[in-house]
A and B are shown apart, each in its own frame.
Chain A
Amino acid sequence: MPNNHNLSVIGHAQIKIDAMGKVTGETKYADDLVLPRMVYGKLLRSVYPHARIIGIDASRARALPGVFAVITGKDLPIKYGIMPSTQDEEALCVDRVRFVGDPVAAVAAIDEETAERALELIEVEYEPLAPVMNIRDALDEKFPQIHAYADHHNIHKFVALEFGDLDAGFRAAEYVREDVFFYEGDTHLAMEEHACIGHFSADGKLTLYSSTQTPHYVHRALEKALQFPRGHIRVIAAPVGGGFGGKTDPFSHEVVACKLSMLTGRPVKITLTREEVFYTHRGRHPVLMWIKSGVKRDGQITALHFKTILDGGAYGSYGIASTYYTGALQTVTYKIPTYKFEGVRVFTNKPPCGPKRGHGTPQPRFGLEVHLDKIARELNLDPAEMRRKYVVDDGTQTVNHLTITSCGLRECIDEVVKASDWKNRKSQIPNSKSQIKRGLGIACSSYLSGAGLPIYWNDLPHSGVIVKVDRGGGVAVFCGSTDIGQGSDSLLAYIAAEEFGLKPQDIKVFSADTDLTPVDLGSYSSRVTVMTGNACIQAARIVKEKILQASAEKLLVPPASLAMRDGVVICEDDENRKLSFVQAINLAEAKFGTLTGTGSYKPPKRAGPFKGSGVGPSPSYSYSACVAAVAVDTETGEVKVEKLFLAHDGGRAINPLSVIGQTEGSAYMGFGEALMEESAFRKNMHKIPSLLDYKSPTTLDTPELHAILVETIDPEGPYGAKEAGQGPLLPVPPAIANAIFDAVGVRIDEVPITPDKVLRALEEKSKGNAPRFGPKDFPVIKMPEAIKVEPPDAKHAPRLVQ
């Protein structure tokens, strides 16, 4: 553990500043807000997976007493979308619906019941089209094309990149292996359903209150979709009851609530039902994967060739980034000298997929880590040792031009190996005769601490902070960042408190309000701690500088001899010379005028010299290692995860309690994905859009978890911090799959690992067939020629050993 000796807040366990409000129910989430004269909006959604809209007759709905306005796609014809290159969403479908649940019309009425009755009175005439429901249909040109724009028919996007000489890599290999994997889609399942209020006020200005992780991007989308100047729009993110990536797109209900308010002159609230949240989605992409690697006899990788096909659902969303992410971070854990990545995203008639915790990386990580486990078994190597030996080094670059500033993966592996008694695992000791078989499995991973590039191209800061100090002693921090439960408001308070020698409870944080706070791009890509943290330090130190100068003059000592701690400004050389915080700031205000400081942060420019290099770079990377201990019931195929050991290098833990909380939350989410969660479809419909039927683990199902923090002090992060909100999810599914193999000798190459699949693989095994359950093959797709990219300077990148 690093020495926190000189830090009084950072590195110490703290309660979150909003904790009491949340546990007492005082916090007002978006759906708790009530404005005078407010009315309620509801969306009419498509009952067809794929159809042309022939006509909409809303006259009966308009005539219903209590209805204030009814709108259709014609009222909001301008397309928008989170990625500049895929502006393919309509707030209400204009002439075509693309999945069951796609919104086609909206109503504002005196209450929700009336709004619902009005929806029933809207008549939509459809001409059904053949639905495209899975990857194979999407590759088949017999099916209709879902969007007019696409790289090819229903192929939304092709990506093909080759780094270094792959053929040479395979030639240098002593063992080559190919595998196919499938990772089913799943959803965020935040407890809070999306809600918003659009309020077009008497002064002609528009305010949106919304449960969003990205008020800034919503701000931009509203300007476009409503054709209304952004300077007159204010977006306020209410406290968010869980996001996990499900609230990072601009959404139909947000645009619609604003439009309805503009038409009625009343505030309009829209709260989605749980079922609607399943349709709004943007969750984990189902990904089919093919992987081929070449290794030396000791497991050193010489070549890696990786292909993915993402089932994108009906719209672009973040899909292009997701596609790149299924390839970009495969290189940041182990030394890989040659790498080829081919990714494809297809459109299907299902709710659109997008970013969910780990965005595009849990799927390839599952494939890679199970594949490596198979290699270790094949070559008779210890899977932990094999990984450990070729971990990337600090201060190097990967073959695809990503910069490693600090890597604590080796220590993470050591920690979980020790904690789980790995060396005495089952492969070493024979299993008992009982039908319950136990085993251990290991997997590692890495994640970014913030995307190095913004969603839309610009040269502006990614995060801004204003610190303002009041004569009375109040310290206020203003930042556009959005607290979605991860604790970003608290982070700002910790930093300001540390810098001013105060307690976190002394700091007031105002966040996520496009009128009051400087822009922060949003709570996604694990970017907030590093980016707002750095901006906050900068802003606070500007004010601190002024306070110290003014105090130094008063105390007749040099500013450098002064420190701020325990609520005073004090001379380190003569502790009798001190001022209270309030005295000091009054002196500073008298000398410098109103006390404010601003800070902004832009990540280092590190993108490689090739098209597509924008996805992957980050100020730093977190690392995780996980050992899963499982017990498999060979009669039922049920897998009980008895323990998870998870070591995470998130850099300096600014609040270790929060970092452990994030590590646990991530690991449990990974656990749910590994064993039960799936976005299942049947007869062209989401099969189980409810909290009862979509299986996510309860507290009685989740395993005992040992979270271990490994704190590298990263040079880029505030006080050395990296990320913790997403990375610890990644190694959990493959560690569980590998543990199952250790226990019962079958490979489940497909997530979720349901009892049925395990039992079928066990039956195959007992029949003498391949002891495996998973996809049989990978479709042949005519890919474009890969862009060939030279690896970075050999001094800094892994070298191919002949």
Chain B
Amino acid sequence: MLRLPPFEYLAPKNLADAAQLLAQYGDDAMLVAGGTDLFPNMKRRQMTPKFVIGLNALRELRGIKNENGNVVIGAGTTLTQISQSLNLSALATAAGLVSSPQLRNAGTIGGNLCLDTRCNYYDQTFFWRKAIGFCMKKDGDICLVAPGGNRCWAISSTDCAPVAVALDASVRLVGPKGERVIAAAELYRDDGMDYLTKARDEILTEIILPPADGLRSTYLKLRRRNSIDFPILGVAAAVRVAPNGIVEHARIILGAIASHPVQAIDAEKILIGQRLSDDVIAAAADAAFKPAKPMDNADAAYAWRKKMVRVYVRRALTELKEQN
């Protein structure tokens, strides 16, 4: 069995204490919620925090409530709870498709949105990474996927993030300088290493979903097996269709093809002002497919993963067409 590196576990009782500990220990500390991402990563020495601050005891991070028409989800709510709250639509679908039942029981939405980016040169043991030669995301200075470049292409592999962005959700961040609410889309950065705009000492406390207001939404996940596997493509789509059948609002967000959830803007534009006909859907799928640039650092052939963008966007939109 791989062993965890030594660390000290801190168990604050409330949000204020947690924030204070995080500020106090700075770069030596990391937060842990369900630990389903952090602990395997620590075993592989991808991160070796001296202090691990547990969020489990923080009641204020748990549960789903309605506030001014918004749905507010505590960051510590488990994926199982979210998947069973049907009114959360595509977010419930995405949460229910994460990993396996055991991991959904432990894993939280906050941890999911902050999930470390993934790469099959990086999600490996210390021994393996040493043998192949460390990469810049941890312990080294080149990228093994694109050695010519100077950036990391590790993949945003969270199932919930694309949906949160597609639903125009926002997140609340609490830090030593106070709190702020930003759009979910703004939480992410196109950088495999520094993939969150959240400061290290900020705690994600809530995900805020605006009223659905007739929004149709869906999430399709591509992976090799029907359980356990991370997405190798996620398509979150949301449209609002006027009574006359014309698309008024559209969001198509692609997960697991880049270091951040990617908005397929050209595809969205094609939909606006049109009916969801097969031709329009095909054109939108094509527009989403063209710029997609998966790299050879996840499961399955990357050329095939790119081809699947077209198929999955088309399928997602066709499903929305039929959702009524």
Q: Which residues of A contact B (CB under 8 A)?
A: 45, 47-48, 100, 112-113, 116, 193, 271, 273, 275, 635-637, 676, 683, 685, 687-690, 692-693, 695, 697-701, 754-756, 759
27 A-B contacts (beta carbon < 8 Å) = A45-B127, A47-B130, A100-B131, A112-B3, A113-B3, A193-B1, A271-B1, A273-B2, A275-B125, A275-B127, A636-B311, A683-B144, A685-B131, A688-B120, A689-B124, A692-B228, A693-B123, A695-B225, A695-B229, A698-B225, A698-B228, A699-B227, A701-B227, A754-B301, A755-B300, A755-B304, A756-B303
What residues on A are CB-neighbors of B1 within 8 Å?
A: 193, 271, 273
B14 at the interface (CB under 8 A from A): no
* A636 touches which of B2, B229, B308 (Cβ 8 Å): B308
B301 touches A697 (CB 8 A): no
CA distance A688 to B299 in the complex (A): 9
Contact B225 A689 (CB under 8 A): no
Are A695 and B224 interface neighbours, CB within 8 A?
Answer: yes
The residue on A at minimum CB distance from B304 is: A756
Residues of B within 8 A of A692 (CB): 228-229
Choose one: A635, A685, A698, A756; the contact of B301 (CB below 8 Å): A756
Contacts of B180 in A (CB 8 A): none
| Residue numbers in B under 8 Å from A48 (CB-CB) | 131
Residue of B nearest to A113 (CB): B3
The answer, among B6, B120, B128, B300, for a CB contact under 8 Å with A754, is B300
Q: In the bound complex, what is the Cα–Cα distance between A116 and B43 (angstroms)?
A: 13
- Tell me the bound Cα distance from A698 to B228 in angstroms: 8
Q: Report the minimal beta-carbon distance from B129 to chain A, rounded to whole angstroms.
A: 10
Give 12 A-B pairs besides A116-B3, A683-B132, A687-B120 with Cβ atoms closer than 8 angstroms. A113-B3, A273-B125, A636-B311, A637-B304, A685-B131, A690-B124, A693-B123, A698-B228, A699-B227, A700-B225, A701-B227, A756-B301
Fill in one digit per residue for B219-236: 1 if any A CB lies within 8 Å of its CB, else 0: 000001111110000000
B307 in contact (CB, < 8 A): yes
The smallest beta-carbon distance between A554 and chain B, in angstroms, is 59
Q: State which size class the interface on B falls in.
A: 20 to 34
Q: Which residue of A lies closest to B296 (CB)?
A: A682
Set of chain A residues within 8 Å of B299, measured between Cβ atoms: 693, 695
Chain A contacts for B128, CB-based, 8 A: 275, 685, 689
Report Cα–Cα, A635/B313, bound state, in Å.
13
- Report B152 CB to chain A, min CB distance, Å: 17
- Write the chain B residue with the least CB distance to A700: B226
What's the least CB distance linking A363 to chain B, in Å? 22
Identity of the chain A residue whose Cβ is nearest the Cβ of B125 in the assembled complex: A275
**Cβ–Cβ contact A685 & B300, under 8 A:** no
Contact (Cβ within 8 A) A676 B132? no
Considering the complex, give the chain B residue whose CB is closest to the CB of A699.
B227
Residues of A within 8 A of B300 (CB): 754-756
| Chain B positions 252-305 with a Cβ under 8 Å from a chain A Cβ | 299-301, 303-304
B115 CB → nearest A CB, Å: 14
**What chain B residues lie within 8 Å of A699 (beta carbons)?**
227
Q: List chain B residues, Cβ under 8 A from A275.
A: 2, 125, 127-128
Separation of A47 and B129 alpha carbons in the complex (Å):
9
Q: Are A700 and B227 in contact (CB under 8 A)?
A: yes
Which residues on the B side are within 8 Å of A756 (C-beta)?
Answer: 300-301, 303-304
Cα–Cα distance between A251 and B229 once the two chains are bound (Å): 32
A391 to B147, CA, bound (A): 56
Chain B hits for A273, CB < 8 A: 1-2, 125
Q: How far is the CB of B292 from chain A (nearest CB, A)?
A: 15
Min CB distance B149 to A, Å, is 17
A227 and B287 alpha carbons, distance in the complex (Å): 70
- Chain A residues contacting B226 (CB-CB under 8 Å) are 698, 700-701
Contacts of A116 in B (CB 8 A): 3
Contact with A along B129-151 (1 / 0, CB 8 A): 01110000000000010000000
CA distance A333 to B188 in the complex (A): 60
CB distance from A684 to the nearest CB of B (A): 8
Minimum C-beta distance from B4 to chain A (A)? 9
Q: How far is the CB of B135 from chain A (nearest CB, A)?
A: 11
Residues in B neighbouring A689, C-beta threshold 8 A: 124, 128
Inter-subunit contact A759/B224 (CB<8 Å): no
For B308, list chain A residues within 8 Å (CB). 636
Those 3 A-B pairs whose CB atoms lie nearest each other, nearest first? A700-B226, A47-B131, A756-B304
Cα–Cα distance between A755 and B303 once the two chains are bound (Å): 12
What residues of chain B lie closer than 8 Å to A697, measured between beta carbons? Answer: 225
Cα distance A193–B307 in the bound complex, in angstroms: 38
Return the chain A residue nearest B6 by Cβ.
A113
What mask results when residues 141 to 169 of chain B are scored 1 for a CB within 8 Å of chain A, else 0?
00010000000000000000000000000
The docked-state distance in angstroms from the alpha carbon of A112 to that of B227 is: 32
- Which residues of A are found within 8 Å of B311, using beta-carbon distances? 635-636
Given contacts A113-B3, A754-B301, A756-B304, contact A698 B227 (CB under 8 A): yes
Residue of B nearest to A684 (CB): B132
Q: Give A564 to B125 CA distance when docked, in angstroms.
A: 60
A339 → chain B, closest Cβ, in Å?
A: 37
CB-CB nearest in chain A for B228: A698
A690 to B124, CA, bound (A): 8
In the complex, which residue of chain B has the Cβ closest to the Cβ of A695? Answer: B224
A683 to chain B, nearest CB (A): 6
Which residue of A is nearest B100, CB measured?
Answer: A698
Measured CA separation A273–B128 after assembly (Å): 13
- Please, which residues of chain A bring their CB within 8 A of the CB of B307? 759
What distance in Å separates the Cβ of A279 from its nearest Cβ neighbour in chain B?
10
A754 to B304 alpha-carbon distance, docked (Å): 10
B228, A676: Cβ atoms under 8 Å? no
CA distance A613 to B307 in the complex (A): 51
A31 nearest CB neighbor, chain B only: B1
Q: Choose among B2, B128, B308 the residue with the greatest number of A CB atoms under 10 Å from its CB.
A: B128
> Please, how many angstroms separate the alpha-carbon atoms of A688 and B301 in the complex?
14
Which chain A residues lie closer than 8 Å to B130 at the CB level?
47
A537 to chain B, nearest CB (A): 43
Known: A635-B311, A636-B311, A693-B120. A47 touches B127 (CB 8 A): yes
Cβ–Cβ < 8 Å partners of B229 in chain A: 692, 695
Inter-chain contacts of A47 with B (CB < 8 A)? 127, 130-131
Residues of A with C-beta under 8 A to B127: 45, 47, 275
**CB nearest to A755 among chain B residues:** B304
Residues on B with beta carbons closer than 8 Å to the beta carbon of A636: 308, 311
**1/0 contact string of B310-321 vs chain A (CB within 8 Å):** 010000000000
Q: Which of B1-15 contact A (CB under 8 A)?
A: 1-3, 6
Complex: A692 Cα to B225 Cα, angstroms: 10
> How far does the Cβ of B169 sit from chain A's closest Cβ, in whole Å?
28
Chain B hits for A690, CB < 8 A: 124
CB distance from B289 to the nearest CB of A (A): 13
Chain B nearest Cβ from A689, distance in angstroms: 7
A692→B229 CA distance, assembly (Å) = 7
Residue numbers in A under 8 Å from B144 (CB-CB): 683
Q: How far is the CA of A5 from the CA of B95 in the complex (A)?
A: 55
How far apart sit A695 and B298, CA to CA, in the bound complex (Å)?
Answer: 12
Q: Closest CB of chain A to B186's CB: distance in Å?
A: 30
Report the minimal beta-carbon distance from A752 to chain B, rounded to whole angstroms. 10
Distance in Å from the Cβ of A67 to the closest Cβ of chain B?
A: 16
CB nearest neighbor in B for A692: B228
Whole-angstrom CA separation of A756 from B227 in the bound complex:
20
User: Measured between alpha carbons, how far is A692 from B301 in the docked complex, in Å?
Assistant: 17
Q: How far is the CA of A690 from the CA of B128 in the complex (A)?
A: 11
- Complex Cα gap A698–B223 (Å): 13
Chain A residues near B132 (CB-CB < 8 A): 683, 685
Q: Complex: how many Å from CA A558 to CA B303?
A: 80
Contact residues in B for A637 (Cβ distance below 8 Å): 304
Alpha-carbon separation in the docked complex, A700 to B100 (Å): 11
Looking at the assembled complex, report how far the CB atom of B218 sits from the nearest CB atom of chain A, in whole angstroms. Answer: 17
- CA–CA, A100 and B133, complex, Å: 12
Chain B residues near A693 (CB-CB < 8 A): 120, 123, 299
CB distance from B144 to the nearest CB of A (A): 7
Taking CB atoms, residues of chain A closer than 8 Å to B225 are 676, 695, 697-698, 700-701
Asked if B304 and A759 make an inter-chain contact with CB atoms under 8 angstroms apart, the answer reads yes
The chain A residue sitting closest to B40, CB to CB, is: A692
